[in-house]
Structure 1
Amino acid sequence: MPHQASAEHEEDGPLVSVIVPCFNHAKSVRRAVESALRSNYPHIEVVVLDDGSADDPGAALVELLPDPRVRLLRRDHAGSNRARSRAIEESSGEYITFLDADDTMEPGRLDAQLALARAHGPRILVFCSSRILHRGRLHSTKTPPVSPHATDVTDAFASMLFRPNSATLLIARSFYDELGGFDPIYRHLETHFQLRAMAAGARVLSAPDVLYHVHRDGRSLSTRSHGEDMARFISEVDTAGRTPDASPMLRKYCRMRQRVNALHLLSCGPEDRRIVLSAFHRTKPNVWARVGLFVLIAITPYLGQDRKLFFARWINSAVGLWTKWR
């Protein structure tokens, strides 16, 4: 019964669907689902979609499945975006949020984000601050660079001063449907959805507290490269930014988004790097952008993975400061 919340939930508060795509995360998916079930906000459903895992998430969740709030769906492997889309189609909440199968959320997350969503109308994206843990130790924190009491972070989001974890998004189903959902042509990259929201004039809000925890093991610190997805996104960003009726906020977002997209070159393999670089050249970048791309390509062979990530973070911080003080 997709797209319909029960009358009981409408009386007591809107139903929130927590979407958990899972691919080969049987060891951690129970921890993720349990963190959602500990939510202080009671009107939830947790929809786990097994995206063709080689391990068995069902076995890991067997003790939780009798809970009527938990559902497990299965499909052949098709990528995280299609997994999210299928789970959303099968869900019933008035609001939709996400939780990756290897992450956890705080009990107060939904209360905080839902309060913002209900106060400011449906055409918004609501994120929260997140903490990234590498093998249990704090690695970094993603928080908006504004006052803890300021929740509208649209400008910081467009300037790439705040790049929230995409899984922290909470969105009204009506706005999700208006935007057309996740484009199935993208297998993994979620930022295309944020671009379309910005093109539709969405405001971006964030709960200031750290309410989401990203858990990484030794492998996941290496950025997975999806050159075709990134090349397609670079083209889509370029087109959106050049649209004659694009708002100043959208133009800013597209300009800064392309600078961040260029950092993808640091984590690409040789073939993906060629695909991404070709996509940038097709956008006819100015001379300074060409110089920047040349520098990134020139230094990449001399950087190990840890140095690439450090250098990418350093450049991103420098771009953010330049944007802030220009």
Structure 2
Amino acid sequence: MQQLPLVSIITPCFNQEEFLSETILSVLQSTYPAIEMIIVDDGSTDESVKIGSSFAESHPQIVVHQQPNSGPSVARNRAIRLASGEYILPLDADDLISKDYVAKAVEVLEKDPKVKVVYCHARKFGNKEEDWKLADYSPPLLARKNMIFVSAMYRKVDWQKCGGYAEEMTWGFEDWEFWISMLKDGGKVVRLPITGFFYRIRKQSRRKSVTKRGRDLTVDFINKKHRDFIYEHLHGPLRKSKTWSKPINLFLKTLGLLPKQPDR
């Protein structure tokens, strides 16, 4: 009987004692049996480590590591370096997955080596209950906005090839930049026809705390690191008003006011 490929679910955790148990239970309820869960505690000051370690005592597929507070990108990269799985599924410590998400994602990746990323439909819960309506994936759209949430499955080898999560991006949006890094040279993206991911909405969420300065830093960072990809799809740089990037660039180009794409 052929052995199932191992999936490593990697979970950065910072002060999530209120939600971590629920997240772990959603992983343990998965119908896919070949799973390990690597929790990297990012300097929590609450009972997160104690909760994670309690689960690890009775579930050998769960491992908890600790580090000084360094941000989720550092924690994710560390967890993936420690991972033994062929496939990686990030899952933040306050979110949930459905029982069948892992199995269905693995099935797609196993059938088609050209697929780099598998995700699904998602639902928001907590302070807001609604389906998370995300645009369909396309490279031109990825150049100006993210439509793939962090909890999508991919191969560990592709994480290695693209250099992992940008650890400088401590302000947020590191998942968007990661997908650009992984997909800018091609590869298929598949969205499963199931609601397999549940994104918790709460007042203190990191997503809500991103400032205008953080958004501006993201634009500058992506323009610098991925300028060839950005210029290819937006005909110029990503703008602070991201939606208007391509129209602005085309207009400036007709006036001869758009600088040429910088050399590598």
Q: Report the TM-score when normalising by structure 2.
A: 0.80
Task: Look up the equivalent residue of 2:168 and give its one-letter code.
Answer: I
Are the counterparts in 1 of residues 143 and 230 from structure 2 also a CA contact under 8 Å? no
Matches within 5 A, 1:211-226: 211-220=196-205, 223-225=208-210
The equivalent of 1:33 in structure 2 is 24
Matches within 5 A, 1:246-261: 246=229, 251=233, 258=239, 261=242
Percent identity for Structure 1 against Structure 2: 21
Are the counterparts in 2 of residues 130 and 211 from structure 1 also a CA contact under 8 Å? yes
Listed one character per residue, the Cα deviations across residues 176-196 of structure 1 (whole Å, up to 9, x for unaligned) are: 111111122222422111111
Q: 2:223 aligns with which of 238, 247, 264?
A: 238
Aligned-residue RMSD, C-alpha = 3.3
Instruction: Note if 1:13 corresponds to 2:4.
Output: yes
- Per the alignment, do residues 84 and 233 of structure 1 end up closer, same or farther by CA in structure 2, a change over 3 Å counting? same
Matches within 5 A, 1:169-208: 169-187=152-170, 188=172, 189-208=174-193
Matches within 5 A, 1:66-215: 66=57, 67-121=59-113, 124-135=116-127, 137-144=128-135, 153-154=137-138, 158=142, 163-166=147-150, 168-187=151-170, 188=172, 189-215=174-200
- Per the alignment, do residues 26 and 211 of structure 1 end up closer, same or farther by CA in structure 2, a change over 3 Å counting? same
The equivalent of 2:261 in structure 1 is none
Structure 2 residue runs without a partner (length 5+): 253-264
Q: Which moved more, 1:48-57 or 1:120-129?
A: 120-129
CA distance in 1, matches of 2:158, 2:207: 33
Instruction: Note if 1:64 corresponds to 2:50.
Output: no
Count the aligned residue pairs.
247
CA apart distance, 1:154: 3.5
Task: Look up the equivalent residue of 2:71 and give its one-letter code.
Answer: G
Are the counterparts in 1 of residues 123 and 131 from structure 2 also a CA contact under 8 Å? yes
CA distance in 2, matches of 1:180, 1:31: 31
CA distance in 2, matches of 1:254, 1:42: 47
Q: Report the TM-score when normalising by structure 1.
A: 0.66
- What SS does the corresponding residue of 1:92 show, helix, strand or coil? coil
Matches within 5 A, 1:36-47: 36-47=27-38
Are the counterparts in 1 of residues 144 and 242 from structure 2 also a CA contact under 8 Å? no
Task: Look up the equivalent residue of 1:35 and give its one-letter code.
Answer: S
Listed one character per residue, the Cα deviations across residues 252-286 of structure 1 (whole Å, up to 9, x for unaligned) are: 5997x7577579xxxxxxxxxxxxxxxx9xxxx65
Listed one character per residue, the Cα deviations across residues 275-313 of structure 1 (whole Å, up to 9, x for unaligned) are: xxxxx9xxxx65979xxxxxxxxxxxxxxxxxxxxxxxx
Structure 1 residue runs without a partner (length 5+): 1-7, 146-152, 264-279, 290-326
CA apart distance, 1:158: 3.5
- What SS does the corresponding residue of 1:27 show, helix, strand or coil? coil
